[in-house]
A and B are shown apart, each in its own frame.
Chain A
Amino acid sequence: MEAPLKYIFDSIQYLKPEVAVSIFLAILVTVDLVLGKKNKQVLPYIALAGLVITGYFVTQQFGTSAFASVQHNIGNFGLIAVDSFGNYFKLIIILSSIFIVLFSISSIEIKQVFDRHGEYYSLIFGMMLGMMLMVSSADLILIYLSIELVSLSSYVLAGFTKQSLRNSEASLKYIIYGGTASGIMLFGISILYGIMGTTNLYAINTILQNGAFQPLALIISCILIFTGFGFKISAAPFHFWTPDVYEGAPIAITAYLSIASKAAGFALLIRFIKVTFIQTIGEDGYWQLLGVIDWKSFLIMISILTMTLGNFSALWQDNLKRMLAYSSIAHAGYMLLGLAVFSDQGVMAILIYFLIYLFMNLGAFFVVMLIANKIGSEEIDEYDGIAYKTPLLAVSLAVFLISLTGLPPTAGFIAKLYLFIALVDAKMIAVAIIALLNTVVSLYYYIRVLKHMFLTKPKVEGERITIGIADTVVLLAMLIPIFLFGLYFTPIVNFAKNSIALLGF
């Protein structure tokens, strides 16, 4: 076998999760074609099996750190970096995918289009493949391709029930904003390629260390590239799509976009900035970035803008889905602060935040979905007195919202606590205070939902809302970690601490 092909086959051992996802994607399409119009109930279970197998391969990979698809002409750097940082995010993506498949089984919106379930699950797998490549890509080519793979799948998923006005509008807005953002990002990538002569992040870092480059063009290209990342994580100037798409898309997909797609975007942003611009890592874990771009003030500015905008817009939302969309923008702002610290501690805070955010945000969306299944609306006014119709759902939603606010004894408190510790340790007291004030603002709109649920008399007396056993189990699977990690958080902190290592640093 000739050499280049041998390197490709050698790296398959590092790509087992991605290969598993691709194979299951093909299996899903084939099974859908064989089954024809009936027996679609089996598809989600195939999807779940695929997710569990992929998860197994990812856990097997913990501790490895190696390049896959190595290019020997540019100094043995590879296209894909397999490391514990990427594996941590892959686990988050797989975990949220499992929950989303479970959501979809009980979602009325998805059930209505039962004849297209094959597409639905294969698109979810396509999106997952893209996100798993996103979190581990170390090359601008792969970064762009994986972002597009995620985007193309999610454009279709956002408008999955074609007849609904909301769905169609959401997917149109998503594809216009998304296409523009990724196009601008591609233009930035092309300029960066022109300055550096390579697309590999590690090779670019070597060139930057030697200091032979055009500073102005570099700054312009990096700002253009940030557009793409900012779109994915819905940071402030690029957040316009978020409320409309989150409100319009089917709830299961909204939940997926708010967790998995955002996690992948954050992982990519952290990897891009750290790998490309790092100079040295100090003894205390603080990163010394190359002085070409002032990423610190840039990110702090963006994150303060993001959280303030998200929180204050959420104040006067009457639709719960839209409110959660703005709240997810605000949370992206908090998490960006963790990156702006530029230390291992900050990254650890982001990792902890994401794991906890997964449970609390998915939980909130799940309850909203179960209630919408019954009453057919997400308007806050419709939630008047719903606690008397369905105590379990109301109490769980209350717990999730309190956790999103960040009050003890829920896990949300731990997430915020580690973030603020990282900020204070880095002597960014003023920023920490702004973030704290934002949390206080967020308390108002979360509590407002609670007031509607528990204290307002219902306008019309409806019958009780009951949920099935399977839904209760899924709900508890998200409710228990909220309390568990709120009181006994050592395991996730240790897990996150062991996962901050990027390949090479």
Chain B
Amino acid sequence: MVTVSLYHYLFVSTILFSLGIFGIVTRKNAVMVLMGIELILNAANINFVAFARYGNFGFQGQLMALFVIVLAAAEAAIALAIVLNIYKVFSSVNVDEIDRLKE
């Protein structure tokens, strides 16, 4: 009989983090890249809450998770607005095609 321990949470968060990095590196669609960034933020959130719960560190970690949720939403809103503008100007959201600034 195994109870869910801190390591299970850390395992999940590490997988999420790696998936996020993988998504950012491999995806060409700008929206998919942004989803990768969201995954990273959520991985950190899992860490914060799990550490706060299992380490008996008080509420700092859970508070941080709240802030991160709000910031992630704000960042997503701004990022999507920028992607929308990119689509208007370039007619594409492929990050490989948006490459005019080069030496």
Contact = CB atoms under 8 A, between A and B. Distances in A.
A175 B78 CA distance: 9
Contacts of A189: 44
Interface of A: 73, 141, 144-145, 148, 152, 155-156, 159, 162-163, 165-166, 168-173, 175-176, 179-180, 183-184, 186-187, 189-191, 193-194, 197-199, 243-244, 247-248, 313, 316-319, 322
Contacts of B13: 190
Interface string B16-40: 0100110010000010011011001
Given A162-B85, A183-B44, A317-B103, A194 B67 contact: no
Given A141-B63, A152-B78, A322-B103, A190 B71 contact: no
Nearest to A183: B40
A186 B89 contact: no
Nearest to B17: A187
Contacts of B95: 172, 176
A141 B75 contact: no
Given A141-B64, A180-B37, A183-B37, A172 B82 contact: yes
Which of B43, B44, B55, B95 has the most CB atoms of chain A within a 10 A radius of its CB? B44
B74 interface: yes
A202 B30 CA distance: 39
Nearest to B58: A73
Nearest to B60: A199
A186 B101 contact: no
A166 B64 contact: no
Given A184-B40, A322-B103, A193 B89 contact: no
Interface residues of B, number: 46
A239 B83 CA distance: 22
Nearest to A195: B51
13 contacts: A145-B71, A148-B74, A155-B78, A156-B82, A159-B85, A168-B90, A169-B101, A175-B78, A176-B95, A183-B20, A187-B47, A190-B47, A197-B57
Interface of B is mostly: helix
A172 B74 contact: no
Given A159-B85, A163-B89, A193-B48, A176 B33 contact: yes
Contact of A179 (B34, B45, B47, B51): B34
Contact of A175 (B45, B79, B99): B79
Which A-B residue pairs are the 10 nearest by beta carbons? Answer: A183-B40, A190-B47, A194-B51, A179-B37, A186-B44, A190-B44, A197-B57, A244-B101, A187-B44, A168-B89
B47 A169 contact: no
Interface string B67-80: 11001001100110
A198 B61 CA distance: 8
Which of B20, B100, B103 has the most CB atoms of chain A within a 10 A radius of its CB? B103
B15 interface: no
Contacts of B83: 172
B52 to A, nearest CB: 8
Which of B50, B61, B90 has the most CB atoms of chain A within a 10 A radius of its CB? B61
A194 to B, nearest CB: 4
Given A159-B82, A186-B68, 6 more contacts: A141-B64, A141-B67, A172-B83, A175-B78, A176-B37, A243-B103
A165 B82 contact: no
Given A180-B24, A247-B101, A193 B30 contact: no
A169 to B, nearest CB: 5
Contacts of A319: 103
Contacts of A155: 78-79, 82
A152 B95 CA distance: 20
A161 to B, nearest CB: 11
A193 B60 contact: yes
Given A141-B63, A183-B41, A190-B47, A166 B101 contact: yes
